[in-house]
Structure 1
Amino acid sequence: IFGGALRLEDLWFAYEPGQPVLQGLNLSVQPGQQVAVVGPSGSGKSTLMSLLLRLYDPTAGRILIDGCDLRDYTLDSLRPQISVVLQESLLFAATIRENIAYGVAGVSPGEIEAAARLANAHDFITALPQGYDTPVGERGATLSGGQRQRIAIARAAIRQTPILILDEPTTGLDNANEQAVVAALRRLAQGRTTFLITHDLSLTTQADQVLYLEQGQVIEQGTHSNLMTKNGSYATLFRMQSALRDESSMVAK
């Protein structure tokens, strides 16, 4: 089982030769730390996630986990060490219980319930007529977006992996669902090396490190408070989003 220490060393990646999407990224993450990766669309955030999952290998440089090059791990040994919660979480035409336990053998009902409680999902599940045995339909069609996301968080929780990747996990949720999902994500990330890829800077304030990417390069790097003090691109975007959020909450009232 991985300890969760992770390093990016002069990491470059290009889908097409001569057109780098990531350029010279360097990062050192201690086990259990949380890293937020932010920046405009097309800045390389999702590409970085793909490299961490080894969907692609770097064009140059390397990714190290616990001091070993990611390329030295087989995919079969790597995938059980990493959980992913995506913007559009994939649920199967099965029961809620089966969706939470998917991919993990010998899970007890108590473990499933504990994962659902961590994910803020237990109450809405038990309110359904069939509870944990409720079928969710193809792609979870019978559930709301917020409910689907909380089932996906419960699935990530039950796998107990040392590394967690969250890709835009609150996009498209209304305010009430977003608050429930964010609370669940914070519990899920506790003690795990976590990469949060997001456009929503309200999620980044508690990260141990924030990377602000632009055109595949790290433009700014530090904690939220460091970057607010620097008063650069991150601080400008954070203030703009805060003002828009305040404005929309005033309208809602």
Structure 2
Amino acid sequence: MTSSTFTAPFLVRLFKSLDTLIALHYSTNYFSSIVRLSSISKQVLNLTEETLVVIKSIYPESYHLERITDDVTIDVYSEEAEDRDRQRSLLIQNIETRQQTFKSCLDSWFDKGCPITFKLAQKTTASPRKPAKVTKPANPRLKYEFHEKKVDSDLPLLERIRLKSSMKKNASPHKRKQELLQSKLIPIYNVLYEQSPKFGAAKTINLSIARLQQLIKDSLNMPLSETEIGQVLNGLQDRLGLDVVAIGDTQVLKIPKLNRTSDLAKLAPETVSES
């Protein structure tokens, strides 16, 4: 069986889009459930069961594909099943190499007449194990909320309120802006810390900026615009030496294993970048 319906540029673009999406997923979820075609087909243009089979026929070591009832699972290819978690965590580092390999395999595939050599097999499943019970905190936002430290004072309450109000009025708009951003620095750092690597298999966790912004909004009980989040992330990036890289059209923050004690010392009040 052969297929010559698809052009080389089409297949290269399709593989690049799919591989980027799979790599981003497994860079933070390499112990989670396998990616399913039904869950990503709307995110990758022209991704179907047919095109998946074509990709697998072109590049046999690209993915491990299996049919489960009416769906198809997409996992990293690994000759040793016990090594699959590690391969998932490393996938994002190998994107460029994999794309070059795909192009080489594609040339050979066209030379051979575009043979379809892969056939989806139905996965035979054993009795599922009962998942471990996960207890969520009653209100997960509480641990991220910013609580103002109480300051002892001999001044009466009314005088303290007036003094605080006067200080705010006298502060420059720029200084007030910096103080506002500084107040949000630690809560946002806490979100990053929760996402940082906790296992030896990965040296960094990769999160797209868009995904990270949504995660911060969902986690913190405070008003935050995307601009403010971006400014605070710039400050964290500068002070902690975090890297932002482009993967395709996606901006990705690389989060290493964080040391909370030393990081908090670096995040002591100072000017937060507004770039």
Higher share of residues assigned helix: 2
User: Fold-level match, TM-score > 0.5?
Assistant: no
- More RCO (CA 8 Å, sep 6+): 1
Using the size of structure 1 for normalisation, the TM-score is 0.26
Using the size of structure 2 for normalisation, the TM-score is 0.25
- Which of these two proteins has the greater Rg computed from alpha carbons? 2
